[in-house]
Each structure stands twice: as structure tokens, then as C-alpha cells.
A = this chain, B = another copy of it.
Amino acid sequence: MAENPHHVVIVGAGFGGLEATRCLARAGVQVTLIDRRNHHLFQPLLYQVATTSLATSEIAWPIRHLLRSRKDVTTLLGTVAGVDAAAKKVLLEDGAAVSYDTLVLATGARHAYFGHDEWEPYAPGLKTLEDATTIRRRLLLAFEQAERETDLQKRRALLTFVIIGAGPTGVELAGTIAELARDTLRGDFRHIDTSQARVVLIEAGERVLAGFVPELSDYARNALERLGVEVELGQPVSQCDADGVIYGDRRLPAKTIIWAAGVAASPAAEWLGAPADRAGRVMVEPDLTAPGHEDIFVVGDTAHVALPDGKLVPGVAPAAKQQGRYAASVIRARLRGDAIPGPFSYRNDGNLATIGKRAAAIDFGWIKLRGRLAWWIWGIAHIYFLIGLRNRLTVALSWLWIYTTGQRSARLITQGGPRKD
């Protein structure tokens, strides 16, 4: 390595940032990877932590351990507060600054309430491990409180679970909560029949899994209804509060509401003063650089990348990884003086979603799958993409256990207890 190697700073160790880091191995650059968390999170399985199927440590890995053998990479735990693009520095919240030659922003997205941030306390979203343990606590506490509630109407509201948004996360949450109530918890309570719990999936659009082909949407809807989920389509939610939701012209009393309806990008566009879409995503150039900043790449959920048909590249792990890999290839080509690769193009590797522990929908484009076979493919694919042999073993064991016994091992109410909720 040269004495003053080119310094690439990557912000965010999600799928995009981590993939960019990996693809810069032996590129003759020095990499600093900054994240405000110490762990990389396998977000596609986060709903399984929220629904007591997996433990937090089964889907999260210390970032610096993943990169321990990469002596060219320095991992930094820190929160980025801004970018000084003129001075080529990343500014951290604690006042420190990190100089870069090339910057890759892979800072992701948070759930968003479309101008109704006041709904957040009543309808938490699912993006971090803490979000997942918060939702887990609320789910389990609702059953506990229902067990002690003698007023029938209040008990009914405690046993009503509303999920807003019927994309893959909403569908997966609804299916698993229905199984939790009907299968896992059955027989544990004395005063309530948990199988009487209502799980209501509310979607503003006309079908569930809108990113899939219509026949898979229909299949998923039927599979949800077989599990006992009530699916309400074409119903925008106009109110969330401590007593429930209002959708269409109806009020539904419910003590547990989960938000799976929308995301907003990280503040990367604000840091750069770059043009952004309504969700805050940076309108990147075809080579994923920020407009006017050819030394700054923006990848993953915080980048607005249009497909030839005008739709956006979806906010899924494979898309973020492809963008991270692409940014790394452009950086390598520039340093070597090679021809710069053509504009980023997205390869759709397929859409996957599970409905409970028996059904799944897979849309590979060239082939559509559903039912048990799809469920097994989904499970094997996710175990394959987990990092490390140990987590593969424990997740496989957890799933085998749930599949055969219906029992979920992570039914813990932590951080709160009965008093705070």
C-alpha cells in the first residue's frame, strides 16, 4: 500500500456500506467505516425478533468483528452530524471530523409517518433492534393486561392488533402475530382465549404485497385470511392514538398498533444540500454520485434511483448490496485509471415474503412460487445470507423448533415491565 493511500470513508454498515467495504478489499485504499451502532443488522429478519421467534443476537453481528481480518479497514463507532464537502470532511456529533478522499453515504432510512409524527408513540415502526424489542414488549404486555382486564370492551381492545401497511414487513408481522396468538400462546392463559385475538392488517392501496405480481398478492391475502388475519384494503388510516385507529369511516379500538407503512431517508441529502425526493432520498447521478459531488457516492435506501420503467429501485437488501458493489467498482476504476463502468443498473433478484410458518410468496420475475415449497426456499435463502456458521446454526435450530413445536423462545418483556406501559 502506498504511503498515503486513497482514503474512502463509508458511513453506515448496513447492506450497502458493508458490501462497498468488502468490494474495496485489496484495492490499495484505506477504508474507514463509521456507524452509530456497533452491529450490522440483518433487517429482513427483524420482524422475527419483534414476534419472539429469534433472539436479538441471532440477527446482529459486531461490525468490527466482521472486518477484523481487513487490516485496511478502521471501524469507528460514531454518529455523523454532517458533511463538509468543500473541506472533504465528515463531521461527527461529538465534534470530531474525519477527512476523506472519497465518501460513500449508505445511511439508510427510518420509518416515517407522512407528516403525522405524533402517531409514533402509538404506532411504533420497525427498523432497529430496539424497535423490535419495543414491539415485542407491547405485544406480550397486551396479552398480559388482557388476562387481568375484567371489562370486556377494554379486553377486546387489548386483544386487537393492528398492522398498518401490507408490504412484506406488514404481511410478515401480521402472519406471525396471528400464529403467536393461535398457536404459541394457546393454553398459557387462564382468563382469555388468545385464539380470539384479532389481527387486522390495514393497507391504503388495493392489494397486499404491491411489489409482487397480482396473483401472488391474492395468494398472500388468502393465506393471511386462513391464519385468521383480517385484511382491510383501500383503507387509508386517518388517525392513530392511545385508543386505536380510524380508517375509512371506522374507528377500531386497539391497544397495539404497528407501523409498517412508510419510510423516510436518512438526512444525507441535508448534509450535502443535494436535491432530494419527497421521502428525502438523494437524487443521485447515474453513477450513484451526488449531483455536483463526484467524490461522494450515495447508495441504498437513502438514494433515489429510477428504473427504466419509472419505478424506483426498491428498498431491499439485494438492491443496497448491488449499489455498494457498484460504487466500489467505480472507485477502483478511477484509481486504476481504467474505464469507468456504465451507469448503475438494478438486477431484480426476486421478491420474497413469508406468511406464517407454512406459506410464502416468491416472485423471481421468470418464475413465481408460493406455498410450502416457497417457504422452504425462503428459509434456506435467509439462512444462506446470514453471516457466519454459528448464526446459521442457531437460526436454523430456532426455526426447526418453531416449525415442529410452535414454541417461540424469545418471549421476553424487557426494558419496561408492567409499570412503564
Asked whether any CB of chain B lies closer than 8 Å to the CB of A76, the reply is yes
A 388-400 to B, binary, CB cutoff 8 A, 1 in contact else 0: 0011011001000
Q: A36-B418, A409-B391 are in contact. Are A148 and B78 (CB under 8 A)?
A: yes
Asked whether any CB of chain B lies closer than 8 Å to the CB of A96, the reply is yes
The one of B38, B390, B417 that contacts A411, using a Cβ cutoff of 8 Å: B38
Asked whether any CB of chain B lies closer than 8 Å to the CB of A79, the reply is yes
Q: Do most interface residues of chain A lie in helix, strand or loop, or is the interface mixed?
A: mixed
How far is A58 from B37 in the complex, measured between Cα atoms in Å?
A: 23
How far is A130 from B130 in the complex, measured between Cα atoms in Å?
A: 13
Asked whether any CB of chain B lies closer than 8 Å to the CB of A93, the reply is yes
How far is A38 from B56 in the complex, measured between Cα atoms in Å?
A: 18
A 84-107 to B, binary, CB cutoff 8 A, 1 in contact else 0: 000000000110100000000000
- Shortest A116–chain B CB gap in Å is 26
Q: A65-B188, A411-B65, A413-B39 are in contact. Are A418 and B77 (CB under 8 A)?
A: yes
Identify the A interface with B (CB < 8 A).
36-39, 55-58, 60, 62, 64-65, 68-69, 71, 74-79, 93-94, 96, 129-130, 133, 140-141, 144-145, 147-148, 187-191, 390-391, 393-394, 397, 401, 407, 409-415, 417-419
| Known contacts A55-B55, A76-B148, A394-B394; 16 further A-B pairs (Cβ under 8 A) | A37-B413, A55-B56, A55-B57, A56-B410, A60-B412, A62-B188, A75-B188, A77-B141, A77-B148, A77-B413, A77-B418, A79-B419, A93-B419, A390-B407, A394-B397, A394-B409
